[in-house]
Chain A
């Protein structure tokens, strides 16, 4: 601007580097404090629920702690569960940046895991382990990508609600797997539980040296960091955030909204597909109905609790992995049904959704709004 503007602003009001930091810190603090408040409230509500059942909340939370984080053994259990939770949470968090709510990551997990197991069959017996693993890996990622990418296509080009579409596609994914696992691809050597043939111990993904935790966890953490970089430090991520924040503005900027939606969904699906790959190639060795163990759904909770931030997903997945790992112990020691932990998770989710309304209202942060 060349001419003198009449609206000259006094210096303290102008943008300065110092106040930028303060603003950013205040905003991130809020994003940490509010979910924490939500979790504490959920714990209190759950305690009341336990008291009604005549159980001791103290014992329950103590067992949660012991079962999740109390020993090297429980840490192993926790971390093995954290891996798939990271993958499936990423499947929620990436589309969320575009304002798209995908809840059917479980479908991509199931189908990715199943196709990985299926594609390995012709290689069994002659293929090198690295080759088999690579083929399985790529297949799981590609099938997951196609599966959730299709949700993006439906959403963008046909206006189909992605939340419902992805959920329905989950049931279809399970049906497809069952169709093959109980039919053409059924392993005759496994009469009890319909499964694909085992890929064999030699072809399995190994453990991190010195632990009983497979490499999936490491891979998941690296992927979460990569996704964070993609969303926050690349032009793709920036364009995705514009689109998620205001589609009309994104269009007016000439951004390829449809492509952004589909590509983001595909990346998300690839993440969930990889969860399936590691479940098959590192844990089960074959595909069967137990692939649909609910990681995809718990992943939704992880992503929301992490406020769709890929880096925050890592600790949150470990947190919820711990609760899941402690489930068995709680069940045995307190004589409570398996679903107890799910009740806790459900409660956490509800309280979390309610806590969304707190943003901008806490007295402490209120100054900034």
Chain B
């Protein structure tokens, strides 16, 4: 009897696998995204993959997954060479990945998503049996997600947990996570990473995780590898190497931009005003209720809150993507409607979260995407109608250069840029002209630490120039760093507004929890 038990426990105990890449090279046309990269991830560890935006991190893991065919290079699992031609092969070797963008089917429930994700879902699904299996599976899992509501109504954090659960459900024992925590609050991130790390400790799992957050590296990972411009720039054990050394490996000798100083402002007029705003969410339920906000010239109002408390809907109303059910907007005391004419007249700019979904057209070129704000004005449009691609590309080249968007040319499709470079391209478009009102949501999602400093400095500069800035962020540190006034959104309402100077984390935290 003990023999039988032993083999199962032994099989369990040695489920985590090690993974190695040897000489991975990937070219996209003339662009070399990866060059001769060899990394080693030991079984049962959490391994961090670091590097600035466009360094090739996503490309490397997509090559491992067979999502891309590497130009050359091999993958070893448990020291055996494996040929992976597509993600299905990778799954067969126990390698699963959570992508930088969500891949769940929004209209299906969590349970349905899990069941259909199996390589061979049954033709006829016996839901009673499946649900029992799922419940049993979830009871073994460290974190929970509601199984029976459509994925579209889950918060970003829950979706991310579900993505991870999906991989565990598929019984993968090598998990690749591409910036898994960018959509999680620090609290959620701690929860998820802590639990995953626990699973690696028991030998169930090996994790390769891409992240831009040093805090997560030092607290939750065992070893790291740094990529820089497609090449391996260093590796080591966490703890043996300081954060400073790691960041040096990432960016070389370049200096990080200092935060811009906050210019004192006095008695500025109110520029942007939200008055008694109500809006419904996708399910037709109230999502934004009676929101009032005033933003003065030269002021950053930071709206904090746990994601899913109406922030997305509010941003959508302010940027014209959703109709308000009641309430009004004013700029300089004049009614403001988020259409193109008003946006241009009042110089309103913005950046919504998930730029590929909200702010960019993936299948148009980078040059076109960068021109969305100016395509209908001279010099691109002349005679009222005529659009000239020449000036458009010229302007795009300027912005690409000055915002250091990493792209082979203006003609590259937006969807081929790295996650952080999509964000940069959109920011270049929205921050490059005179801005009077700026509405931004999570502007630093997915940016490397150097770019974060850069972008925050730019937002501060816009404020110093006199722009009224409304900053939505799930990162409380970001709000504490940038905001002049802090508002907290909870349950669709904003009832807590304090000058930043008087704010403390405890009372903000209490307001975020809805007290």
Contact = CB atoms under 8 A, between A and B. Distances in A.
A223 B402 CA distance: 41
Interface string A346-369: 000000000000000000001111
B411 A20 contact: yes
A246 B29 contact: no
Interface in B343-375: 343-344, 350, 352, 357-364, 366-368, 372-373, 375
A5 interface: yes
Interface stretch (A103-111, A126-134, A252-260, A323-331): A252-260
Given A6-B254, A7-B254, A15 B357 contact: no
A356 to B, nearest CB: 13
A334 interface: no
A249 B372 contact: yes
Interface string B385-416: 11111000100110011111011111110001
Interface in A6-42: 6-10, 13-17, 19-24, 26-27
Contact of A7 (B340, B372, B389, B448): B448
Given A13-B408, A252-B321, A239 B376 contact: yes
A186 interface: no
Nearest to B414: A245
A235 B257 contact: no
B340 A255 contact: yes
A16 B321 contact: no
Interface stretch (B177-185, B235-243, B449-457, B476-484): B449-457
B412 A23 contact: yes
B333 interface: no
A248 interface: yes
B454 A242 contact: no
Interface in B426-474: 448, 450-451, 454, 457-458
A92 B366 CA distance: 27
Contacts of A238: 368, 375-376, 387
A4 interface: yes
Given A6-B450, A246-B361, A252-B350, A15 B404 contact: no
A367 B388 CA distance: 29
A237 interface: yes
Contact of B407 (A15, A27, A237, A249): A15
B29 A23 contact: yes
Nearest to A14: B401
Contacts of B364: 241-242, 245
Given A234-B386, A235-B375, A254-B342, A19 B409 contact: yes
A234 B388 CA distance: 8
Contact of A14 (B255, B375, B400, B411): B400
B387 A23 contact: no
B191 to A, nearest CB: 30
A200 B480 CA distance: 81
Contacts of B258: 3
Given A241-B361, A245-B364, A367-B29, A23 B342 contact: no
Given A253-B373, A254-B340, A366-B69, A245 B319 contact: no
B363 to A, nearest CB: 5
A366 B400 CA distance: 25
A193 interface: no
Interface in B20-69: 27-31, 52-54, 69
A236 interface: yes
A7 B451 contact: yes
A1 B455 CA distance: 10
A245 B29 contact: no
Contact of B416 (A8, A252, A369): A369
Nearest to B410: A15
B381 interface: yes
B256 interface: yes
B257 A3 contact: yes
B229 to A, nearest CB: 7
A302 B222 CA distance: 58
A5 B455 CA distance: 10
**Looking at B340, B342, B402, B411, which has the most chain A CB atoms within 10 Å of its CB?**
B411
B320 A1 contact: no
Nearest to A10: B229
Given A7-B53, A23-B29, A23-B408, A249 B257 contact: no
A4 B393 CA distance: 24
B120 to A, nearest CB: 21
B376 A235 contact: yes
Given A4-B257, A238-B375, A251 B321 contact: yes
A249 B376 CA distance: 16
B31 A13 contact: yes
A237 B339 contact: no
A299 to B, nearest CB: 24
A15 B387 contact: no
B251 interface: yes
A248 B319 CA distance: 10
A249 B409 CA distance: 22
Given A26-B29, A251-B320, A235 B360 contact: no
A205 to B, nearest CB: 30
B341 interface: yes
B338 interface: yes
Nearest to A19: B409
B387 A4 contact: no
Given A4-B254, A7-B450, A233 B387 contact: yes
Nearest to B405: A15
A15 B367 CA distance: 10
Contacts of B255: 4, 6
Given A249-B359, A252-B358, A368 B404 contact: no
Contacts of A17: 393, 409
Given A3-B257, A6-B254, A239-B376, A249 B408 contact: no
Given A22-B29, A23-B29, A254-B341, A248 B357 contact: yes
B321 A1 contact: no
Nearest to A241: B364
A124 to B, nearest CB: 39
Nearest to B338: A254
A237 B375 CA distance: 11
A346 to B, nearest CB: 28
B408 A253 contact: no
A58 to B, nearest CB: 38
Given A253-B373, A256-B339, A248 B30 contact: no
Contact of B404 (A8, A23, A249, A256): A8
B406 A13 contact: yes
Nearest to B383: A234
Nearest to A2: B461
Contacts of B254: 4-8
A249 B354 CA distance: 11
Contacts of A7: 52-54, 251, 254, 404, 406, 448, 450-451
A-B complex: 5 closest residue pairs judged by Cβ atoms: A245-B361, A254-B340, A6-B254, A6-B450, A23-B411
Given A233-B386, A236-B385, A254-B344, 13 more contacts: A1-B454, A3-B454, A3-B457, A7-B450, A15-B366, A15-B408, A22-B29, A23-B408, A24-B411, A242-B364, A245-B361, A254-B342, A367-B28
Interface of A: 1, 3-10, 13-17, 19-24, 26-27, 233-239, 241-242, 245-246, 248-249, 251-256, 366-369
Interface of B: 27-31, 52-54, 69, 229, 251, 254-258, 319-321, 338-344, 350, 352, 357-364, 366-368, 372-373, 375-376, 381, 385-389, 393, 396-397, 400-404, 406-412, 416, 448, 450-451, 454, 457-458
10 contacts: A1-B402, A1-B454, A4-B257, A6-B52, A13-B407, A233-B386, A235-B385, A241-B364, A249-B359, A251-B321
